[in-house]
Protein backbone atom coordinates (compact mmCIF):
# COMPACT_ATOMS: atom_id res chain seq x y z
CA UNK A 1 0.00 0.00 0.00
CA UNK A 2 2.80 2.40 0.88
CA UNK A 3 4.54 1.70 -2.44
CA UNK A 4 1.27 2.30 -4.28
CA UNK A 5 0.79 5.67 -2.57
CA UNK A 6 4.35 6.69 -3.41
CA UNK A 7 3.83 5.61 -7.03
CA UNK A 8 0.68 7.74 -7.29
CA UNK A 9 2.52 10.76 -5.89
CA UNK A 10 5.35 10.20 -8.37
CA UNK A 11 2.95 10.03 -11.33
CA UNK A 12 1.09 13.14 -10.20
CA UNK A 13 4.34 15.02 -9.78
CA UNK A 14 5.99 13.79 -13.01
CA UNK A 15 5.31 16.99 -14.84
CA UNK A 16 6.92 18.88 -11.99
CA UNK A 17 10.03 16.75 -12.26
CA UNK A 18 10.54 17.61 -15.92
CA UNK A 19 9.30 21.17 -15.70
CA UNK A 20 10.89 23.09 -12.79
CA UNK A 21 8.77 25.62 -10.93
CA UNK A 22 9.16 29.08 -12.38
CA UNK A 23 8.23 32.45 -11.03
CA UNK A 24 7.72 35.49 -13.24
CA UNK A 25 8.14 39.11 -12.46
CA UNK A 26 7.01 41.95 -14.74
CA UNK A 27 9.64 44.65 -15.03
CA UNK A 28 7.46 46.73 -17.31
CA UNK A 29 4.54 46.31 -19.66
CA UNK A 30 6.80 45.27 -22.58
CA UNK A 31 9.20 42.75 -21.03
CA UNK A 32 8.94 39.77 -18.65
CA UNK A 33 11.94 38.02 -17.13
CA UNK A 34 11.69 34.37 -16.09
CA UNK A 35 13.76 32.99 -13.21
CA UNK A 36 14.15 29.31 -12.38
CA UNK A 37 14.08 28.56 -8.64
CA UNK A 38 16.28 25.64 -7.65
CA UNK A 39 15.01 23.18 -5.05
CA UNK A 40 12.97 19.98 -4.59
CA UNK A 41 9.94 19.42 -6.76
CA UNK A 42 6.42 19.28 -5.37
CA UNK A 43 6.32 15.48 -5.66
CA UNK A 44 9.60 15.16 -3.77
CA UNK A 45 8.27 17.38 -0.98
CA UNK A 46 5.05 15.33 -0.73
CA UNK A 47 6.92 12.00 -0.70
CA UNK A 48 9.37 13.21 1.94
CA UNK A 49 6.50 14.48 4.06
CA UNK A 50 4.67 11.16 3.78
CA UNK A 51 7.85 9.28 4.65
CA UNK A 52 8.35 11.35 7.81
CA UNK A 53 4.71 11.43 8.94
CA UNK A 54 3.46 7.89 8.26
CA UNK A 55 3.88 6.71 11.90
CA UNK A 56 1.64 9.55 13.08
CA UNK A 57 -1.13 8.66 10.63
CA UNK A 58 -0.84 4.94 11.40
CA UNK A 59 -1.03 5.67 15.13
CA UNK A 60 -4.15 7.78 14.66
CA UNK A 61 -5.82 5.25 12.37
CA UNK A 62 -5.07 2.27 14.61
CA UNK A 63 -6.28 4.27 17.62
CA UNK A 64 -9.63 4.88 15.94
CA UNK A 65 -9.90 1.19 14.99
CA UNK A 66 -9.09 0.21 18.59
CA UNK A 67 -11.74 2.59 19.95
CA UNK A 68 -14.47 1.40 17.57
CA UNK A 69 -13.67 -2.29 18.08
CA UNK A 70 -13.68 -1.86 21.86
CA UNK A 71 -17.09 -0.18 21.82
CA UNK A 72 -18.51 -2.96 19.63
CA UNK A 73 -16.79 -5.55 21.82
CA UNK A 74 -18.39 -4.15 24.97
CA UNK A 75 -21.83 -3.83 23.40
CA UNK A 76 -21.73 -7.34 21.96
CA UNK A 77 -20.55 -8.78 25.28
CA UNK A 78 -23.27 -7.03 27.26
CA UNK A 79 -25.75 -8.04 24.59
CA UNK A 80 -24.83 -11.70 24.98
CA UNK A 81 -25.30 -11.53 28.76
CA UNK A 82 -28.67 -9.78 28.48
CA UNK A 83 -29.77 -11.78 25.43
CA UNK A 84 -30.14 -8.75 23.17
CA UNK A 85 -27.36 -9.85 20.80
CA UNK A 86 -29.15 -13.13 20.07
CA UNK A 87 -32.06 -11.20 18.61
CA UNK A 88 -29.71 -10.19 15.80
CA UNK A 89 -27.16 -13.03 15.59
CA UNK A 90 -27.23 -16.74 16.28
CA UNK A 91 -25.30 -17.77 19.43
CA UNK A 92 -22.35 -19.31 17.59
CA UNK A 93 -22.10 -16.36 15.21
CA UNK A 94 -22.38 -13.91 18.10
CA UNK A 95 -19.59 -15.63 20.05
CA UNK A 96 -17.33 -15.90 16.96
CA UNK A 97 -17.90 -12.20 16.20
CA UNK A 98 -17.13 -11.25 19.81
CA UNK A 99 -13.93 -13.28 19.73
CA UNK A 100 -12.86 -11.74 16.40
CA UNK A 101 -13.51 -8.23 17.69
CA UNK A 102 -11.27 -8.97 20.66
CA UNK A 103 -8.42 -10.02 18.37
CA UNK A 104 -8.88 -6.95 16.15
CA UNK A 105 -8.88 -4.73 19.22
CA UNK A 106 -5.69 -6.26 20.60
CA UNK A 107 -3.84 -5.99 17.28
CA UNK A 108 -4.88 -2.37 16.76
CA UNK A 109 -3.78 -1.48 20.31
CA UNK A 110 -0.35 -3.03 19.74
CA UNK A 111 0.06 -1.17 16.44
CA UNK A 112 -1.17 2.06 18.04
CA UNK A 113 1.45 1.83 20.77
CA UNK A 114 4.56 0.56 19.06
CA UNK A 115 4.32 2.65 15.90
CA UNK A 116 5.21 5.67 18.03
CA UNK A 117 8.74 4.27 18.26
CA UNK A 118 9.15 5.29 14.61
CA UNK A 119 7.71 8.76 15.01
CA UNK A 120 10.42 11.41 14.79
CA UNK A 121 8.26 14.27 16.08
CA UNK A 122 7.23 12.83 19.45
CA UNK A 123 10.25 10.50 19.77
CA UNK A 124 8.95 8.05 22.37
CA UNK A 125 11.37 5.47 23.75
CA UNK A 126 10.39 1.87 24.48
CA UNK A 127 10.13 2.78 28.17
CA UNK A 128 7.85 5.72 27.40
CA UNK A 129 5.26 3.40 25.88
CA UNK A 130 5.64 0.51 28.35
CA UNK A 131 6.01 2.21 31.74
CA UNK A 132 3.18 4.40 33.10
CA UNK A 133 4.30 7.88 34.14
CA UNK A 134 7.80 7.35 32.70
CA UNK A 135 7.18 9.88 29.90
CA UNK A 136 6.58 13.59 30.45
CA UNK A 137 4.19 13.82 27.47
CA UNK A 138 1.37 16.31 28.14
CA UNK A 139 1.66 16.51 31.94
CA UNK A 140 -1.54 17.01 33.92
CA UNK A 141 -1.84 19.51 36.77
CA UNK A 142 -5.00 19.68 38.89
CA UNK A 143 -5.49 21.95 41.90
CA UNK A 144 -1.79 22.70 41.87
CA UNK A 145 -0.84 19.00 42.01
CA UNK A 146 1.30 17.55 39.21
CA UNK A 147 0.02 14.16 38.10
CA UNK A 148 2.63 13.73 35.37
CA UNK A 149 1.62 12.15 32.07
CA UNK A 150 -1.57 10.78 33.62
CA UNK A 151 -3.58 10.57 30.41
CA UNK A 152 -0.80 8.70 28.63
CA UNK A 153 -0.41 6.43 31.64
CA UNK A 154 -4.11 5.51 31.41
CA UNK A 155 -3.48 4.31 27.85
CA UNK A 156 -0.52 2.18 28.96
CA UNK A 157 -2.51 0.66 31.83
CA UNK A 158 -5.27 -0.07 29.32
CA UNK A 159 -2.75 -2.00 27.24
CA UNK A 160 -1.92 -4.34 30.12
CA UNK A 161 -5.58 -4.78 31.02
CA UNK A 162 -6.30 -5.62 27.38
CA UNK A 163 -3.60 -8.31 27.37
CA UNK A 164 -5.03 -9.88 30.53
CA UNK A 165 -8.62 -9.84 29.26
CA UNK A 166 -7.95 -11.08 25.74
CA UNK A 167 -5.37 -13.68 26.80
CA UNK A 168 -7.65 -15.23 29.42
CA UNK A 169 -10.54 -15.21 26.96
CA UNK A 170 -8.49 -17.15 24.42
CA UNK A 171 -6.66 -19.50 26.78
CA UNK A 172 -8.58 -20.31 29.99
CA UNK A 173 -12.23 -19.54 29.35
CA UNK A 174 -13.09 -23.26 29.15
CA UNK A 175 -10.51 -24.51 31.66
CA UNK A 176 -11.07 -21.97 34.44
CA UNK A 177 -14.37 -20.17 33.79
CA UNK A 178 -14.51 -18.58 37.26
CA UNK A 179 -11.03 -17.05 36.89
CA UNK A 180 -11.91 -15.90 33.39
CA UNK A 181 -15.09 -14.25 34.62
CA UNK A 182 -13.26 -12.35 37.36
CA UNK A 183 -10.66 -11.07 34.89
CA UNK A 184 -13.36 -10.24 32.37
CA UNK A 185 -15.00 -7.85 34.83
CA UNK A 186 -11.93 -5.66 34.28
CA UNK A 187 -13.44 -4.81 30.88
CA UNK A 188 -15.51 -2.13 32.60
CA UNK A 189 -12.36 -0.58 34.06
CA UNK A 190 -10.70 -0.86 30.64
CA UNK A 191 -13.40 1.05 28.77
CA UNK A 192 -13.31 3.84 31.37
CA UNK A 193 -9.52 4.23 31.07
CA UNK A 194 -9.65 4.13 27.26
CA UNK A 195 -12.50 6.64 27.14
CA UNK A 196 -10.59 9.20 29.24
CA UNK A 197 -7.28 8.53 27.46
CA UNK A 198 -8.78 9.01 24.00
CA UNK A 199 -10.89 12.01 24.98
CA UNK A 200 -7.98 13.91 26.54
CA UNK A 201 -5.02 13.24 24.23
CA UNK A 202 -6.56 11.78 21.07
CA UNK A 203 -5.70 14.04 18.14
CA UNK A 204 -8.85 13.28 16.18
CA UNK A 205 -11.04 13.59 19.28
CA UNK A 206 -9.74 16.99 20.34
CA UNK A 207 -12.75 18.74 18.80
CA UNK A 208 -15.42 18.45 16.15
CA UNK A 209 -17.76 15.67 15.15
CA UNK A 210 -15.49 12.78 16.19
CA UNK A 211 -15.30 14.09 19.75
CA UNK A 212 -19.10 14.39 19.84
CA UNK A 213 -19.48 10.84 18.50
CA UNK A 214 -17.06 9.50 21.11
CA UNK A 215 -19.00 11.20 23.91
CA UNK A 216 -22.29 9.83 22.55
CA UNK A 217 -20.81 6.33 22.38
CA UNK A 218 -19.61 6.72 25.95
CA UNK A 219 -23.13 7.55 27.07
CA UNK A 220 -24.59 4.62 25.13
CA UNK A 221 -22.10 2.28 26.79
CA UNK A 222 -22.93 3.74 30.20
CA UNK A 223 -26.62 3.01 29.67
CA UNK A 224 -25.80 -0.52 28.48
CA UNK A 225 -23.66 -1.16 31.58
CA UNK A 226 -26.42 0.18 33.86
CA UNK A 227 -28.93 -2.10 32.12
CA UNK A 228 -26.60 -5.07 32.48
CA UNK A 229 -26.13 -4.33 36.22
CA UNK A 230 -29.89 -3.92 36.69
CA UNK A 231 -30.51 -7.29 35.04
CA UNK A 232 -27.95 -8.90 37.35
CA UNK A 233 -29.62 -7.61 40.51
CA UNK A 234 -33.20 -8.28 39.43
CA UNK A 235 -32.91 -11.78 37.96
Which tens digits make up the pLDDT trace of 144-155? 888 899 999 999
Q: Is residue 2's pLDDT more than 80?
A: no
Is 21's pLDDT higher than 80?
no
Model confidence over 73-105: pLDDT tens digits? 999 999 888 888 888 888 889 889 999 999 999
Query: Length of the chain in residues, anyone?
Result: 235
Statement: the pTM of the whole predicted model exceeds 0.85: no
Q: How far apart are CA 25 and CA 233, in angstroms?
A: 80
Domains of the chain, residue spans: 55-234
Checking if the pLDDT of 164 tops 70, the result is: yes
pLDDT band at 157 (very low <50, low <70, confident <90, very high): very high
Q: Is the confidence at residue 15, as pLDDT, over 50?
A: no
Report the pLDDT value the prediction gives residue 123, as an integer from 0 to 100.
Answer: 83
Amino acid sequence: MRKLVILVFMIVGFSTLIMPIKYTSAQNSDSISVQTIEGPSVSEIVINKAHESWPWYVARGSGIVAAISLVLLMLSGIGQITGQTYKILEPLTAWASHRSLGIVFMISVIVHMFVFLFDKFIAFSIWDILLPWFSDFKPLTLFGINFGSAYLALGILSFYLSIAIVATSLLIINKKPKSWKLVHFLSYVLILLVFIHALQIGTDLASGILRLIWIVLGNILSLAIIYRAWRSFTT
